[in-house]
Amino acid sequence: MLFSRRTFLAGAGAGASVVAITGCGSGGGSGGEVTFLVDNDPNNVVATELLIEAFNDSQADYVFTMETRPGGTEGDNLIKTRLSTQDMPDVFSYNSGSLFQAIRPAQNLLDLSDQPWVSRVAEVYPPSVSVEGAIYGAPHGGSNSGGIWYHKPTYEELGLEVPLTWDDFIANAEAAKSAGKHGIIQSYGDTYTSQFLVLADFHNVAAVNPDFAEQYTANEVGFADDPTAFKAFEHVEQVTQGGLVNEDYVSTTLEQALAYLAGGEGAHYPFFSSGMAEIKATHADKVEDVGFFALPGDDPETNGLTVWLPNGIYIPSTAENQDAATAFIEFAVSAEGLAAMAEGAQPTGPYMLTDVELPEDVPTAIADLQTYFDTDGATTPALEFSSPVKGPNLENILIELGTGSIDARTAAERYDQDVEKQAQQLGLEGW
C-alpha cells in the first residue's frame, strides 16, 4: 500500500498494549483514568510518553495513560474494528486524509469544530480531518515532507547549487556520478521507498493543474493521460535506466541508503524529511552534513514542497469522558504540549499551528523547511490529503519500472488500473 506518513521506524507489534504514564503532580485525578491510543512507532511512543506526563503534571482532574497499536494495514483494521464495536479509547491518533475518510467520521467521531484551538490551526490542515465542513481532528505533532536529501560537502566540493528544476537536478546527479559517487540513491530493498519520485512530485502536478485532485477523484484524469503527472513515471525510468543510481539499488535498504548519504558515498536520496530521525540515531556526527530540498519540476518559479500532514487526534462519539478528552487535545496542540513531545522526538517539519514555531535546536535541514511554509504557494499537501483515491500497488509497479521490467507508459497505465479498483471499492461516483 502507499506509504501514508507511517514512519519507517514503525514496529510490527501484533496487538495493542497499555503503558501507564502518570505524572508526579497528577494527584490521582478526580476525573478518572483516560486512555490515549497511538501507533507503536518508537519515536511516537517516546514523544507520547512525555506528552502524557506533561499533561498529567499540568492539572489534577484527569490521569491519562497510553495504549499502543500496530501500524500499517493491521493498525487500520484495528481502528475500524474498535470503532465499529464501540471499544475505542476516549482519545486516539490516526491518519488524516484519505484513511481518515474511511473510518466514517460523521458516524464515529465527535465534531470538534467549536474547540478554541481550531482558530490557531494552519489553513492547509482542516480539510484533511473534515467532512462537510465539520472538523473532527487536531494536528498531532509536526508535518512531514517528501523531497530530496543531499550531501552538503559534495555540493560544496563540486560547486553545485540547490536545483530548482528537474533538469538541473539531473545535472547535479551526473556531476556527482562523474566524481565517483552515487548520483541518486535508491533503496528498493525497502519497497515503499521506490515511490518518492512520484509521490513527492505532486506539488509540481498541482502547480500546473490546481484542479488535478478534484478531477482525479472524479475519474476525469489519470497519471497515464495527464502529461505533467506522467512525467514522474518517466523520471523513475530516467534515473535508474540512465545509470544514475547505486549499483545495488535493488537490494539496498533505507538504513543503507541513509548511510550512503551521510557518509558522502551518494549525493541525493529521495525520501521523507523524517529520515532525519534515522540519520541522528545512526550518524549523529553527520547531521549537519545533509540538507533537504523540494523535488524540482519544470518551472523554477513554482518550485515547492509536497507535504504530508500530521495524523489527527480524534475523540470517538462513544467517549465516556469527553471533557477529559477535549482538555487533553487542547494541551496536545499547545506550545507546552508540543515542546514536551519534541523532547522525546524532534519534529520533522513545521507545526500545523500558526502560533507555534519549531524548536531552536532542530537540525538545519529541518529548520530550512520553514522557508517553504512561509512562501505563498510553495507547499502542497500530498495527493492523499486531497483525494481518497489511491491504489495499493504503486511501490511494486515502480520497482518493475525501475528495474526495467516495464516502461513508464505501462507503469502509469497499470497504476491507473490499480486506482480504478480501489475507487470502485469505495463506491466513488464516476468510477
Cα distance between residue 332 and residue 336, in whole Å: 8
Q: Provide the pLDDT for residue 29.
A: 42
pTM score: 0.88
Overall fold of domain 144-307+381-426 = D-Maltodextrin-Binding Protein; domain 2 (3.40.190)
DSSP state of 363: -
| Cα dihedral 361, 366, 368, 372 sign | negative
Q: How far apart are CA 234 and CA 224, in angstroms?
A: 11
C-alpha pair distances (Å), 295 with each of 74, 254, 273, 302, 306: 31, 19, 12, 11, 8
What stretch(es) of the chain map to CATH 3.40.190.10?
Answer: 17-141+310-359, 144-307+381-426
pLDDT reported for residue 425? 85
At residue 1, the pLDDT reads 34
- Residues 205, 382: contact at Cβ < 8 Å? no
Closest to 232 measured CA to CA, from 206, 254, 261 = 206
Q: How many residues does the chain have?
A: 431
Query: In what helix (H) or strand (E) does residue 313 lie, and over which residues does it extend?
Result: strand 311-314
CATH superfamily, with its number, for domain 17-141+310-359? Periplasmic binding protein-like II (3.40.190.10)
Contact present, 271 and 149 (Cβ < 8 Å): yes
pLDDT of the residue at 421: 86
> How many C-beta neighbours within 10 Å does residue 33 have?
15
Spacing of C-alpha 158 from chain mean position = 32
Of 75, 87, 269, the C-alpha closest to 190 is 269
N-term to C-term CA, the chain = 20
pLDDT at residue 31 in the model: 62
Extract the residue ranges of the chain whose pLDDT is less than 50.
Answer: 1-16, 18-30
Q: Report DSSP state, residue 286.
A: G
Please, which residues have CB within 8 angstroms of residue 250's CB and are 6 or more apart in sequence? 188, 189, 403
Q: What pLDDT is attached to residue 390?
A: 84
**pLDDT value of residue 17:** 52
Residues 147 and 77: their CA atoms lie apart, in Å, by: 30
In this structure, what are the phi and psi dihedrals at residue 171, rounded to the nearest 5 degrees?
-60, -40
